[in-house]
Structure 1
Amino acid sequence: MTQTAFLNPTRVTATIQTGTKAGERFLVLDSWRGICALLVAVFHFPTSSAISQSAFVGSSYLFVDFFFVLSGFVIASSYASRLDEPDEFTRFALVRFGRIYPLHLVMLLAFAAFETLRLVLPQLHGTGAAPFTGGFDLKSFLANLFLLQGMGFADHLSWNAPSWSISAEFFAYMLFAGVVFAAGQRAWIWFVAAAVTAPLFLLAVSTRHMDVSFDFGFIRCLYGFSLGALLAWFQHDSIAAARQALARDGARMAWTLAEVVMVVVIVLFVSLAGDNDAGIAAPFVFALALYLFAHEGGWISAMLRTPAMLTLGALSYSIYMVHIFVQARMINVAGLIERKLGLGLIGDIWLRGDDVTGFGTSSPWVGLAAIVAMLIATIAASWFTWRFVEMPAMAWFRRLSKRI
């Protein structure tokens, strides 16, 4: 969605009414991306509230796999027929790099700046590791700088921890472009191979089920990305045609019922499968959901096309990339207040089998209020990075790619 469309709801409505052609946005899927980003943010935020303690939120790390499936679908929809020349490959690489790296770099530098501040101000040390140690060491900084943190070169999550998926996704982009450039219309065979072998590999090797990141994150990404690419490869045109027909006829009850059932299936699946091998099927579940909601046929899709939800979709990448920094600073501030006033805002809590520092030691309601405050702060920070980092960087790299 362009910046103009984001600032002008009429423009967004016009885009919805005209349907889709190859390369245009599936707006409902963008809104789903925003929802999934917020669910990952809540998953990472430690509180004693019933929300944080629920099985659904406790397994919401699986929504990262929705990003991978959607990325494969969007990239294949937009580029599968265009990567037939070396110049096109270079343009693709520049545009994708410009889409993910600038914000990744800004957040990496923000974490580094805070570690430097901890060196200067001892009161910020807290009870954690010394500055520039643990997950914030200089070796890991270099891995993050070169987007290698999700490619099996590290033995722990580091710096802006969710960025492991950005690392894996960038190299999935490059592999996709290379396969399409080399194999042309037969590239789908390679995507089938990846979609079959990757889950078998995870079943055989992973000791944490689907919850792999720094170690086998690229395999996990390639799995979901390939499924999304296959869906676009064989179904994009039929989805586009069906969506245009549905846009003319309006939402249908059968589609609404299917969407409601799909949401229930997602909630039940995530709640039940996140801590066992069944979670490895997540990309297939999300691919089915993507196929359904790409048609935009029901009332849930209609709600997801409202300006507020489209805004959330536009901010989704920033939400995903800034939320850990926002959460960490909230914990720092609450820790300082706790040492001064002893209000019971923060302390040791038991969450998903681990003893962690979180909100709501005095009352679960404090934890709930902290979640609300975190989401508001994250969305506000995300708007800032979207407006002043994402959008200018994307525009600059697109101009650069056109000069080739």
Structure 2
Amino acid sequence: MTEAALLNLAPAPAATRAGTMAGERFLVLDSWRGICALLVALFHFPTTSMISQSAFVGGSYLFVDFFFVLSGFVIASSYGSRLSEPDDLARFALVRFGRIYPLHVLMLAAFAAFEALRQVVPQLHGTGAAPFTAGFDLKSLVANLLLLQGMGVEDHLSWNAPSWSISAEFFAYLLFAGVVFATGRQAWIWFAAGAATAPFFLLAFSTRHMDVSFDFGFIRCLYGFSLGALLAWFQHDSIATARQALSGGAGRVAWTLAELAMILVIVLFVSVAGTNDTGIAAPVVFALALYLFAHEGGLVSALLRSRPMLMLGSLSYSIYMVHIFVQGRMINVGGILERKLGLGIIGDLVLRGEPATGFGAGSAWIGFAALVAMLVAVVIASWFTWRFVEMPALAWFRHLSKRI
């Protein structure tokens, strides 16, 4: 979660290379970020419900690529012409670090505290590995603290597993800043090369199609990030101009139909492409979706501009970062209740062809109820981390950056 892609907190407006004003807020894309974060949470939650077992949710790990595309779009729109001095680089890196790292460290602390608790509470051992082993070892903790868990130094997912993407994305930020600083107006050439070569690299070397993370996560991130940056450099002006023309409701029916068609394409693509090499085209599909919805021309966009959806977008990074911890603790509590009551709340099941421990072993309706409860719990927990960790930390780092 991404990760500028998970919360577009644009800086003060500045002229882009093409002459428009950077920092324009794309509200609908904010909302899409929240939706994608929830879909990733659904993908990770094991239940016997039809939702969890559906092909669409089974391929929803691909929505991480939406974060990468949006990240490139937001960063290039906001900083494409504002990284010409060393001080600019320092301020950029500091703000991006402050955006992702405080919540990342908080969640690492939460996981470490739970591992310590497992050592003293036998009921929490379950049938899994011993505390501080198998993905929760101290060596992996160091890699996570250094934001290296998505850069190929690990041979497994570890600690807060989804955080591999913020590791890859942070280094994509630094690469972007370095390339723009060094090459100026020719920066787009380097990212065009990245967008063109990354999918062939994944086709050649990935054994899990697009579902790479700790191994080739940076390549996956660079692929989507580059497409988003190119979209910003070459289409930001046309989008901004079209948004002004559409603000009066012109062509609303046509844009609504286009938005509905795009949603259908996304649903079909994710449902079909999650288990094969077709999924490597995900960044291209999401770049097209981003281009369409950035115009905010249809009724779907109007719905996505509603206050609840915008709030969901604001919570997106927290949703992405806290959901695995919340889900794990729900499974722990469910396991304790199952051992005491034997109600079929939780047990062994098969999820997308793989054995898992999850909710609804005795009834798919129990699995559905657990899924709803999980979403509610994740959103509530995310509000607290957004309000009391994300926003204060970002404000502090922004204030610090102004002193450079």
TM-score calculated relative to the size of structure 1: 0.95
C-alpha displacement at 1:88, in angstroms?
A: 0.3
**Post-superposition CA distance 1:218-265 (Å, at most 9, x none):** 000000000000000111111011111111335611100100000000
Deviations, residues 349-369 of structure 1 (Å, cap 9, x unaligned)? 011111100100111011000
Counterpart position of 1:94: 94
Partner of residue 16, structure 2: none
* 1:153 alignment partner, SS class: coil
Alignment-mate amino acid for residue 108 of structure 2:
L
Q: Secondary structure at the match of 1:209?
A: coil
1:77-112: per-residue Cα shift (whole Å, max 9, x none)? Answer: 000010000000000000000000000000011000
Letter in 2 for 1:117: L
- Deviation digits for residues 258-279 of structure 1 (CA, Å, limit 9, x no counterpart): 0000000000000001100000
User: In structure 2, the residue corresponding to 1:132 is in which secondary structure?
Assistant: coil
1:303 corresponds to: 303
The match for 2:382 is 382
- Asked if 1:144 is matched to 2:144, the reply is yes
SS of structure 1 residue aligned to 2:248 = helix
- The question of whether the paired residues in 2 share the 8 Å contact of 1:41 and 1:324 is answered with yes
Structure 1 letter corresponding to 2:235: Q
Aligned to 1:58: 58
Name the residue aligned to 1:362.
362
Change over 3 Å in CA distance of 1:197–1:333 after alignment to 2 = same
Which whole-Å CA distance do the structure 2 matches of 1:356 and 1:350 have between them?
A: 6
Are 1:22 and 1:237, in contact at CA under 8 Å, matched by a contact in 2?
A: no
Q: Corresponding residue for 2:15?
A: none
Aligned to 2:220: 220
CA–CA distance in structure 2, aligned partners of residues 249 and 117 of structure 1: 57
Find the aligned partners of 1:50 and 1:240 in 2 and give their Cα distance: 41
Q: Equivalences for 1:1-150 in 2 at 5 Å?
A: 21-150=21-150
User: Is the 2:72–2:224 contact (alpha carbons within 8 Å) kept by the matching residues of 1?
Assistant: yes
Query: Counterpart of 1:331 in structure 2: which amino acid?
Result: I
1:335-374 correspondence to structure 2 within 5 Å = 335-374=335-374
Kept in 1, the 8 Å contact 2:249–2:297? The answer is: no
Q: How many Å apart are 1:24 and its aligned residue?
A: 2.3
1:379 Cα offset (Å): 0.1
Alpha-carbon deviations, 1:363-404, whole Å to 9, x = none? Answer: 101100011000000000000000000000000000000001
Q: Secondary structure at the match of 1:134?
A: coil
Matches of 1:21 and 1:197 in 2, distance apart?
31
Query: Counterparts of 1:199 and 1:243 in 2: how far apart (Å)?
Result: 32
Residue 165 of structure 1 corresponds to which residue in structure 2?
A: 165
Q: How does 1:266-305 map to 2 (within 5 A)?
A: 266-305=266-305
Read off the aligned partner of 1:140 and give its amino acid letter.
Answer: S
Matched residue count: 386
Instruction: Show CA shifts across 1:288-323 (max 9, x none).
Output: 000000000000000000000000000000000000
Structure 2's unaligned 5+ residue stretches are 1-6, 8-19
Cα distance in 1 for partners of 2:234, 2:77 equals 10
| One-letter code aligned to 1:302 | A
Distance 1:329 1:251 in 2: 48
Give the equivalent residue in structure 1 for 2:179.
179
One-letter amino acid of the structure 2 residue matched with residue 80 of structure 1:
G
Q: For the residues of structure 1 that align with 2:97 and 2:141, how far apart are their CA atoms?
A: 19
Relative to 1, partners in 2 of residues 1:355 and 1:222: Cα closer, same or farther, differing over 3 Å? same
Supply the AA of the counterpart residue of 1:285.
V
Residues 251 and 299 in structure 1, CA contact (< 8 A), matched pair in contact too: no
The 3-state SS of whatever aligns with 1:393 is helix
Identity, in percent, stands at: 80
RMSD: 1.0
2:199 pairs with 1:193:
no
Q: Where do 4+ consecutive residues of structure 1 move more than 6 Å? A: none
CA offset at residue 121 of structure 1?
A: 1.2
Range moving further from structure 2, 119-128 or 373-382: 119-128
How many Å apart are 1:123 and its aligned residue?
1.5
Q: Which residue number corresponds to residue 235 of structure 1? A: 235
1:319 aligns with 2:324: no
Structure with the larger helix share: 1
Secondary structure of residue in 1 paired with 2:135: helix
Does the CA-based 8 Å contact 1:35-1:313 persist in structure 2?
yes
Task: Return the offset for 1:21.
Answer: 4.1
Mapped partners of 1:242, 1:21: distance in 2: 14
